[in-house]
Amino acid sequence: MTHRTVFFVSDGTGITAETFGNAILAQFEITPRHVRLPFTDTPDKAHQVVRQINHVHDVEGRRPIVFTTLVDPQMLAILREGCKGMLLDMFGTFVQPIEAELGLKSLHRVGRFSDISRNQAYHDRIEAINFSLQHDDGQSHRDLAGADVILVGVSRSGKTPTSLYLAMQFGLKAANYPLIPEDFERQQLPSALAPWRKKIFGLTIAPERLAEIRAERRPNSRYAALDNCRMEVAEAEAMMRRAGIRWLSTTTKSIEEIATTILQDVRPERLNY
């Protein structure tokens, strides 16, 4: 295992640099030390970043890897000239060929909104988060007309984190409803959902995995018992099949994979791409 320090340098939050850098580093059998250096937006801070990187270089005797999304040419030049790390310019590498392709100059706009409170897309995203919270776990039947997606499934099948992720990442209003024993007895979806069949998406899960998850919350309960989980999952799947609802199994999937699959299938109108 090679020891390395990896820096993420940005004029903004550095979250893009770190998300993308982590995806690349996941291709290597190393566990590097991470140093996040956000808001590098003045020459003073850029020089400080250079000193910090060079100090690590000298102490460790190895070039640190530096992922940067610096947009301001002045800050980038300070790094390029002074830094002893391996500089990976994630922006310039792609911005320059796109400039040539489009015949347009790039804006060199730092990835921060000058006033986020006036940004409509941002406002919609916060609204979506509030909507998803208010409609978590069947808390409210109001405004379902405004929902982009309605998730259904047994308790602990993954509805809540998926709803919040859809809101946070894609700005979608995602309600979610638990399927409970009363629904199974009636053999029908909760009646409040009947008008919205097209927006409904089901989550299911392997009963063995469900029993594990529920046992973390309520060990040795009827709720977590494997035979009860088997019964609930079978009833929920039968109900979704009868109602003609699309569904997927969350057993081995991440929130991101579940959300992406739902988007491919539901294609909400507000995401017009």
**Least Å from the CB of residue 181 to a copy of itself:** 23
Complex with a copy of itself: residue 189 or 247, whichever CB lies closer? 247
Calpha distance 19→23 (Å, rounded) = 6
Complex with a copy of itself: residue 213 or 243, whichever CB lies closer? 213
Answer yes or no: is 82 a known binding residue: no
Q: Which helix (H) or strand (E) segment is 88 a member of?
A: strand 86-89
Answer yes or no: is 84 a known binding residue: no
What CA–CA distances, in Å, run from 184 to 102, 156, 193, 233, 237? Answer: 57, 17, 15, 10, 10
Complex with a copy of itself: residue 54 or 261, whichever CB lies closer? 261
Alpha helix locations (H) across the chain?
15-25, 43-60, 73-82, 92-102, 120-134, 159-170, 181-186, 207-217, 226-243, 255-266
Answer yes or no: is 156 a known binding residue: yes
**Least Å from the CB of residue 75 to a copy of itself:** 15
Answer yes or no: is 157 a known binding residue: yes
Calpha distance 110→174 (Å, rounded) = 31
**Least Å from the CB of residue 112 to a copy of itself:** 7
Complex with a copy of itself: residue 94 or 221, whichever CB lies closer? 94
**Least Å from the CB of residue 88 to a copy of itself:** 6
Answer yes or no: is 2 a known binding residue: no
Q: Show binding-site residues for ADP.
A: 153-160
